[in-house]
Chains A and B, each alone.
Chain A
């Protein structure tokens, strides 16, 4: 049941992007028009990828403002560098690779102290009753969001891409220019670190679930 839910969600997420790449000719034509600086074509391209890019940025930053800034940077970079796209990979992969690079560069220097994260999580637990949630949103999500923000940029990126956005290790390896093995081992480490943060609240989660 769980597996089915996870895969369904992942499929839903990657569907739009894959659909664009399968009809590669449309993308290629768009790319050519974008290279000429055609604003309308740029807008069409933006419409195709904006939500995927925005979601990656949002999950990395956990802030609307930062996510908007990163998305803006990513698309400006895409249109500036579009001449260097040679078609060796799917265009979507190229766009996400630029996004991932911008995210990692943006968050590389930002290190949150573990003590601070533990403090924030305990505060969250204290104020759990007044947390506003709806039926679709579990009360554990804010905990997980806080814990994700405590991960180092590289681990966080892989966790976001694999567990939240539903990419395969193969795709992540291409986006981040790493091997599939590295992607797997870093995901394992990221999950392990998250588990350490969330363990104290597990009993609470089970009672809420």
Chain B
């Protein structure tokens, strides 16, 4: 039998849990091996000392402690919470001992701070009003620009149609003063509309207005008397740029024009 096996089973040997044959071999080894003998001695000492530890007795006061804790845990939860709050308040009152006026002032200050905070958080509508007002103004402006653009295009169309349909040979003594006046007014209108349309970012209509503006400028610069060459230039300009067709197309879908402008807004 080797020492390792003996030392591993010393506890069982000590408690006589080994089989008879194993126990005989065990005892034989222990007699011959001083190391294992010493091991057994130490183990015996430990086990004997451990088993003869004196009994200790729970002190009488222990039940009182347990009972007190049970009374706390037996209480319904809200009572426990309120007790805990009361205890906390008592502890805090020891920590912060201030004169009464100081506490009152601190209380008033705290209420003011909370009130201002709540007021700013929940009752401030300034930004919303501003935002609402802004949106309303923008919508009104958009409507105005849209209306004036329509008038501008309509008047331009009439003006252009009048010029395009003029037969100079038949009307030799024609006077262009009315057309020039109308063109000048429309130019002023175009200047206003360009600004408005660039704000609304309605590039397509703005481009149309600019194209018409060039022709209107030519009309406004016509000579008072027979200026057949320039008239022909105006006519070809209107024709070349397909302005009447563009106006016509624009007029076909006025709602979409307005909608796209709104979306951009």
Contact = CB atoms under 8 A, between A and B. Distances in A.
Interface of A: 2-3, 5-6, 9-10, 13, 37, 39, 42-43, 46, 50-51, 53-55, 58-59, 64, 67-68, 71-72, 75-76, 79-80, 136-138, 140-141, 144, 148, 159, 163-164, 166, 184, 187-188, 191, 194-195, 198-199, 202, 205
B63 A9 contact: no
Given A50-B58, A51-B57, A54-B57, A5 B45 contact: no
Contact of B50 (A54, A137, A164, A188): A164
Interface residues of B, number: 35
B50 A195 contact: no
Contacts of A140: 45, 49
B68 to A, nearest CB: 10
22 contacts: A2-B44, A3-B14, A6-B48, A9-B52, A37-B74, A39-B67, A39-B70, A42-B70, A51-B55, A55-B55, A59-B53, A68-B58, A68-B59, A68-B65, A71-B58, A79-B70, A80-B73, A166-B51, A195-B39, A198-B45, A199-B42, A202-B41
Contact of B48 (A2, A68, A75, A136): A2
A188 B49 contact: no
Majority DSSP secondary structure for residues of B touching A: helix
Interface of B: 8, 11, 14-16, 38-39, 41-59, 62-63, 65-67, 69-70, 73-74
Contacts of B11: 184, 187-188, 191
Nearest to A143: B49
- Give chain A's interface secondary structure class: helix
A138 B47 CA distance: 13
A195 B46 contact: yes
A80 B55 CA distance: 28
Nearest to B7: A192
A33 B50 CA distance: 37
Contacts of B46: 144, 163, 191, 194-195, 198
Contacts of B8: 188
Given A163-B46, A198-B46, 12 more contacts: A2-B44, A5-B52, A50-B58, A71-B62, A75-B66, A76-B73, A137-B54, A163-B51, A164-B50, A191-B46, A195-B43, A195-B46
